[in-house]
Structure 1
Amino acid sequence: MHATAFWRSPLLRSPRQLHAWLSERGSLTRRLMTHFPDFSVQVLHEGFCRAHLDERTILQIGSEHVATREVLLCAKGKPLVFAHSITARASLKRGFHLLGRIGSRPLGAVLFADPKIRRSHLAFCKIDRRHPLWQKAVAVSGIQPPTLWARRSVFYAGQNQLLITEVFLSPPF
């Protein structure tokens, strides 16, 4: 993954109770379902948008529109994580063709079920109101702290790439 310096915040700077969640290499969705039995996925947006500047750097794309999926991962209706996924339009016809058809099913369930899909290392960042994903997370989840921890990684299906960013919202973590 071509991570920018912006996404190299040391994990040790995050709150201790978040360490295990941020560093989870398996399915975050599966882990959330284990800890929060009333887990649900709320689809907020599926469509095409321009990638954010730091996302363009990672996926090495221009300012063209990319396939975008945004969801809230919730427990008892309370938002826990804001997830933002993007991929090039061409990848919807190839490696990530299921992306546009999963509805409210967790994306992680699809990705981790396919042994051909591999994942990059995780990158971490403490984001604030200047970052568009902090702004989106707050807009859909309500009042949040002035900074939130996020992680991102790239999933690969052959040459196709899918960037997933997960923003961890205020406690219960």
Structure 2
Amino acid sequence: MPTKSFLLAHEPHWIAARQGIHQHLPDSAQSWIYEPGSITQRLRSYYGDGVKVEILFLEWQAPFLSESRMLRVPTHRYALTREVLLHINGKPLILARTLIPERTLRAARRNLAHLGNRPLGEVIFSYPKLQRLEMDFTEAEPSVWTEAAIGTAHIGQSVWGRRTIYSIRHRQMLINEFFMPDALLLP
């Protein structure tokens, strides 16, 4: 069976981000998990244009079960799966996993299928009617990562992350973002 992910050996345990749950998160993780704008833009406001995107995985794959449920697609349906590392001079900052169903690609006029090394945030935050519908967070233990992810991002401890359902023209996509320790040190 083909792999579903370069990054994840299995899904982390996700917790719905609800009112009042902020106090259970460290301050450094809170500001990133609840960031309302583009993560890439936030990194670039600190580091400038030195923030680079490295594509780790780009294939049509069946999402994990909870991802299918969040996207409201049948479990056998494939989505364009893009996993990337955002880094500055090789220092890992963000690991991201994006799932885009075919109907969302059509609604976005295929702009999302041809990103190359462009950050996804540059594109989706330019859509005038982009909506954030739902968000979960996690503290991903080292056991959820593949050996390849551990080696690529130098993961040696738990990593905070969020997954967000966005809607573009009433079509959904799912973005998972995992904040490496060096990213959490930023203001």
TM-score band, normalised by shorter chain: 0.7 to 0.9
User: Residues 1-173 of structure 1: matches in 2 within 5 Å?
Assistant: 6-8=14-16, 10-37=21-48, 38-61=50-73, 62-95=75-108, 97-131=110-144, 134-135=145-146, 137-145=149-157, 147-173=158-184
| Percentage identity across paired residues of the two chains | 29
Letter in 2 for 1:7: I
In 1: Cα distance, 2:69 partner to 2:150 partner: 24
- How far 1:123 sits from its partner (Å)? 2.0
Q: Structure 1 length normalisation: TM-score? A: 0.85
Asked whether the 8 Å contact 1:68–1:85 carries over to 2, the reply is yes
Q: Secondary structure at the match of 1:122?
A: strand
Letter in 2 for 1:26: G
Q: 107-116 or 37-46: which moved more?
A: 37-46
Asked whether the 8 Å contact 2:107–2:169 carries over to 1, the reply is no
Letter in 1 for 2:106: K
The 1:78/1:155 distance shift into structure 2, 3 A limit, reads same
Q: 135-144 or 92-101: which moved more?
A: 135-144
* Aligned residues between the structures: 166
Asked whether the 8 Å contact 1:11–1:124 carries over to 2, the reply is no
In 2: Cα distance, 1:142 partner to 1:43 partner: 16
Return 5+ residue gaps in structure 2 as ranges.
Answer: 1-12
In 1: Cα distance, 2:149 partner to 2:177 partner: 10
Return 5+ residue gaps in structure 1 as ranges.
Answer: none
Letter in 2 for 1:163: L
Q: Structure 2 length normalisation: TM-score? A: 0.79
Letter in 2 for 1:6: W
Asked whether the 8 Å contact 2:142–2:156 carries over to 1, the reply is no
Letter in 1 for 2:66: D
